[in-house]
Amino acid sequence: MQAQEIFDKLKEKFNDDILELKADAPSDPIILINGAELFNIAQFMRDKEELDFDYLVDLISLDLGDNLGAIYIFYSMKHKHRIALKAIVPKDNPILPTLENLWRTADWLEREAWDLMGIKFEGHHNLIRILNPYDWEGHPLRKDYVTPEFYHGMKVPY
């Protein structure tokens, strides 16, 4: 199924929560959505017969200045089509619904996005850091992150 058809199908079901289609992206076509409805949209995409997105390829997090973004890339093994969903959340309250109940792989992907970018996934059963030490402070991939001087008595800068 082409990106435009997928977009139309989603628009038909969720109308105002599907914002726009960016088909000329250098990677996969991106559909901008309302983050609050992410869970319902993703569930529809997974369960609907002609969409059948059974594979969550990756979760990418972005720092957009005042906002944070999350891009979910989906793939259908059956229909061999890919699409990306993009949700934008404000930096001072970055909350998205968790998808770990739809795709098990979202568990670790969301922990990574929380660890490095600080997006909170509501409903996640174990939202703890995955790469950095548990007592690390801050979210290092944010643009306003400041490298600490010391960690456990070890000097960090060169």
Partner 1 sequence: MGLLNRLNEPFEGGGIVLGTVEDILNWGRAKSDWYLQFGLACCAIEFMAVNAPHFDFMRFGTIPRTSPRQADFIIISGTVTLKMAERIKRLYEQMSEPKYVISMGSCSNCGGPYWEHGYHVLKGVDRIIPVDVYVPGCPPRPEALEEGMILLQKKIRHEAIFNKRKRIAEEDKKLGLNIK
Task: Report if residue 26 touches partner 1, rule: CB under 8 A.
Answer: no
- Assess 145 for contact with partner 1 (CB under 8 A): yes
For the record, the structure tokens of 33 come out as 């959505």
Give the x/- contact pattern for partner 1 in 113-142, rule: CB under 8 A.
-------------------xx------x--
Nearer to partner 1, 23 or 131 (CB): 131
Total residues at interface with partner 1 (CB under 8 A): 13
Residue 145: C-alpha distances to residues 63, 71, 79, 83, 90 (Å) = 11, 21, 41, 31, 17
Among 80, 125, 143, 155, binds partner 1 (CB under 8 A): 155
For the CB of residue 108, give the shortest distance to partner 1 in the complex, in Å. 17
Could you tell me which stretch among 56-64, 71-79, 104-112, 147-155 binds partner 1 (CB under 8 A)?
147-155
Residues in CB range of 84: below 8 A, 6 or more apart: 25, 27, 28, 29, 30, 31, 71, 72, 73, 74
- Nearest to partner 1 of 12, 149 (CB atom): 149
What is the rounded distance in angstroms from the CA atom of residue 57 to the CA atom of residue 66?
A: 27
User: Which residues sit opposite 122 in a β-bridge?
Assistant: 97
Give the integer Cα–Cα distance in Å for 62 and 71. 8
Choices 42-50, 62-70, 71-79, 146-154; region in contact with partner 1 by CB under 8 A: 146-154
Closest to 40 (Cα-Cα) out of 87, 118, 97, 107: 97
Nearer to partner 1, 105 or 132 (CB): 132
Give the interface with partner 1 as residue ranges (CB under 8 A).
132-133, 140, 145, 147-148, 151-152, 154-158
